[in-house]
Structure 1
Amino acid sequence: MKNKLILGLLFVLPIATYLIFASAKHNSLFLPILFEYQQDLPQDWQTSSGESVQLENKITILGFTGFDIAKNKGNLFNLNQKIYNKYAGFTDFQVVMVAPKGTESDIVAIFEKFKTVSEDLGGWKVVFADPEEIKTYFETLQLIGNLGEDYGTPSVVIIDKNINLRGRKGKNKAGEDEYKDSYNTISAAELHNDMTDDVKILLREYRLALKKNEARKDDFRDKIKENIEKNK
């Protein structure tokens, strides 16, 4: 019985993964890089448990909560339901929120409620920083939108493993010019449609790169084997 279950999983998981990647409706196989080499999060920006969080080598959804956590609670819930729960199974995926110091208890209260709708919140990270430091860091992202007076914004961005800002740039399916550097968490529809597609594309991009690297390794290994056999 156990062996049958394992075989079933080995059969189903690749199909499920394919369906996730293949269902993207975006008109591109790759998500454009808008700005390269963004700054990583400062080491002294830490979670409530004292953990530093880094963006490098992770696919990250990055956002800024601001002081009014209660006001933005619905936005965080949208992000959790429409994006995080779909991709929480990918080990290289994380959602990182930057919050002002002093809002720790409000954040903890929200995530206690999230536990009722999400089995694993390990990919959610919230780091705390001084407000002016948050503003300075936000400006390095070079986004069209601004940070609010409470040092927060309902918009989130996609950061790739090399800390590049990803988004939409160029022609859309209708042939119209399009530029999108962030995604509005107020709009569940925008998260469900635009952002879901763009995250799928980025995950697929890394998956294809991994398969290409594995193919190169196999080719390299075969050539070494051939040379060894020739020299016998």
Structure 2
Amino acid sequence: MKKFLVLLVLFALPIIAYMFFASGQNNFAKLPVLTKDVKDVSGFKSLDGKLVSLEDKISIVAFFGKDLDNLKGNTFNLDQKILEKYYEFNDFQFIVVLPEEAREEAEKFKKEFSGISETEKWKFIFGASTEVEEVFKSFNTPHQLEDTYTPYVFIVDKDLSLRGRDDDEDSGKVYGYDSRSVAELSNKMNDDVKVILAEYRLALKKNNAERKNN
């Protein structure tokens, strides 16, 4: 009987463990979709003339207006607390949507920070103020855009859906993350970026496994 119990435990434990972890993967917490079909930015002009799009990328999107001080402070916070951790991911990008009149300041700012940050990974795009507002409105958030500026930054997935939190313990829903708050970037936003990247990595592994089996 003892041998039988030992064999049963040795046989059953790996199966139970597998089922536990498999269940955890299948029920892996996904970052909630808050808004679908946000407007793409492919019609905007970039600093380097290359096409920039939200499609097929996990994007951090910012609307930092015309004030260079806002652009400097908010972008530097993001770079130090979020972006530098994820630059290695090819499907990850940081996009700053600006009005055309901010182009010169953006160029100066990028050069100024090129020695201390990976500014080549930042994508500044420019359009008319009305175009900037149209993109922002498509996010359908409770935040306001004041003269093309908001301190909040947003996570947009590869399918042009805005991601965030729908049951946050502090504020209920989180549509965007305050780039002025180091604590919010370090905690909530960093956690949520990890979740969405893990979500896509898991989906990629599953697709690769299915292809091998087929």
> How much does 1:105 deviate?
1.7
1:200-231: CA deviations, max 9, x gaps?
000000000011111111211xxxxxxxxxxx
User: 1:93 touches 1:123 (CA, 8 Å); kept in 2?
Assistant: no
Question: 1:165-180 counterparts in 2 under 5 A?
Answer: 165-170=162-167, 172=169, 178-180=172-174
Percent sequence identity over matched residues?
39
Query: How does the TM-score come out when normalised to structure 2?
Result: 0.82
User: 2:61 touches 2:155 (CA, 8 Å); kept in 1?
Assistant: yes
Q: Give 1:147's aligned amino acid.
A: L
1:64 paired with 2:58, answer no
State the Cα RMSD in Å.
1.6
Query: How does the TM-score come out when normalised to structure 1?
Result: 0.76
1:64-113: CA deviations, max 9, x gaps?
11111223311111011111111000000000011111211211121123
User: 1:183 touches 1:190 (CA, 8 Å); kept in 2?
Assistant: yes
Identify the residue that residue 198 of structure 1 maps to in structure 2: 192
> How much does 1:179 deviate?
0.7
1:155 paired with 2:149, answer no
Matched length? 187
Distance, in Å, in 1 between the alignment partners of 2:48 and 2:207 is 37
Distance, in Å, in 1 between the alignment partners of 2:95 and 2:126 is 11
Identify the residue that residue 109 of structure 2 maps to in structure 1: 110
The more displaced of 45-54 and 55-64 is: 45-54
1:169-196: CA deviations, max 9, x gaps?
1364xxx772100000000111111100
Distance, in Å, in 2 between the alignment partners of 1:202 and 1:209 is 11
1:87 paired with 2:81, answer no
1:183 paired with 2:185, answer no
1:146 paired with 2:144, answer yes
Identify the residue that residue 100 of structure 2 maps to in structure 1: 101
> How much does 1:49 deviate?
2.4
Question: 1:22-61 counterparts in 2 under 5 A?
Answer: 29-43=29-43, 45-61=44-60
1:93-135: CA deviations, max 9, x gaps?
00001111121121112112322222x3333101011112211
Q: Which runs of 5 or more residues in structure 1 are unaligned?
A: 1-27, 221-232
User: 1:169 touches 1:177 (CA, 8 Å); kept in 2?
Assistant: no
User: 2:47 touches 2:123 (CA, 8 Å); kept in 1?
Assistant: no
Distance, in Å, in 1 between the alignment partners of 2:168 and 2:134 is 32
Q: Give 2:59's aligned amino acid.
A: T
Distance, in Å, in 2 between the alignment partners of 1:197 and 1:36 is 22
Q: Which runs of 5 or more residues in structure 2 are unaligned?
A: 1-27
- SS of the residue 2:206 aligns to: helix
Distance, in Å, in 2 between the alignment partners of 1:91 and 1:52 is 16
- 1:88/1:29 Cα in 2 relative to 1: closer, same or farther (>3 Å)? same
